[in-house]
Amino acid sequence: MPETSLIDAKTVTRVSRLELIARQTVEGFLSGLHPSPYHGSSVEYLDHRPYTMGDEIHTIDWKLLAKTDKYYIKLFEEQTNLRGTILLDTSASMGYRSPASPDRMTKLSYGAHLTAALAYLLLHQNDAVGLTLFDSAVRHYLPARTTANHFRLIIDRLEAAQPGAHTVMAPVLHEIAGRLRRRGMIILISDLLDDLETVKDGLAHFRHQRHDVIVFHLVDPDELSFPFERLTRFRDTEGTASLVTNPGSIRQRYLDRMQTFLAQVRKICFERNISYELLRTDAPYAQALSAFLEKRGRVTKTGR
């Protein structure tokens, strides 16, 4: 693994023990962990069909023949590799860090570390991984690859990432959906500070193409608790507007709107069968990722 500040040996060890398994059928080229739409000869039993002349004799279900006196062929799920695409929001709002906690990661730094861990995990399990960095448009795009130097390319892009323009997510999601020709996994890492109606349409485009979609919603603890006490100048993180006010006079209104926002995001994901995870930037990213993947693995295995 290349030397990088984005993923250390301890994280590599922890991530290497995990699996990121698709919850639904994906398309790939190599033998791997994930269900494929193509019938093959792996150990996962899928279905039967009547025997026809020319079928391989070894595929006959002899036990079913003994029970029914009819010839049936066993069909199996071919296990295939996954093509994962990670979309990391690099918009201006992702640069926020609490003034009271200068050692805390910005949302962008947290997202970059999370992206590096996910990319390592996917490549470690012989899956292909691609990367998109975006704000109001796609800024960098690396198609999914499994080659040896691909992780280094991803890390280079992540280490160079800086907060950019304001967020305009929908055109980005539609553009990436148009580039992907095979079903795979889409991992969106963002603070989702955008018009949720347009975000909803972009996510729906991925689901229409039958991609497995995961949303990691990054928030700074300040955004959840609004801990400000003294007269404060609040500045639009993606614009030039600012407001000087007493935080106590707007705290409850802000908290109510934040809870409404979070509820809307969860509803959008739930209604589209999208995995959703809210991650606070004061929570160790490797620990948060491990907990999510362990939970997802339990749900995936019991659901299949």
According to DSSP, residue 106 is labeled: P
Q: Which amino acid is at 20?
A: L
- As a whole number of Å, the end-to-end CA separation of the chain is 34
| C-alpha neighbours within 13 Å on the C-beta side of residue 258 | 16
C-beta atoms surrounding 190 within 10 Å? 23
d(CA 31, CA 195): 40
Which tokens in the block code for residue 197? 């109606």
pTM above 0.85, yes or no: no
Q: Supply the CATH classification number for the domain 9-19+82-299.
A: 3.40.50.410
Q: With beta carbons less than 8 A apart as the criterion, state whether 233 and 242 touch.
A: yes
Give the E-state strand segments of 83-180 in sequence order.
83-89, 128-134, 138-145
Q: pLDDT tens string for the chain (304 positions)?
A: 444 578 878 887 887 777 776 665 444 444 455 555 544 444 455 556 677 766 677 778 888 888 888 887 765 544 447 889 999 999 999 999 888 888 899 999 999 999 999 999 998 888 889 999 999 999 999 999 988 789 999 999 999 999 998 889 999 999 999 999 888 999 999 999 999 999 999 999 999 999 999 999 999 999 999 998 888 788 777 777 778 888 889 999 999 999 999 999 999 999 999 999 999 999 999 999 999 988 887 765 555 4
Which tokens in the block code for residue 78? 């071919």
**Three-state DSSP class for residue 71:** coil
d(CA 245, CA 127): 50
Tokens 């390319």 belong to residue: 153
d(CA 223, CA 238): 15
Per-domain residue ranges of the chain? 9-19+82-299, 31-79
d(CA 53, CA 217): 54
Tokens 């979309």 belong to residue: 87
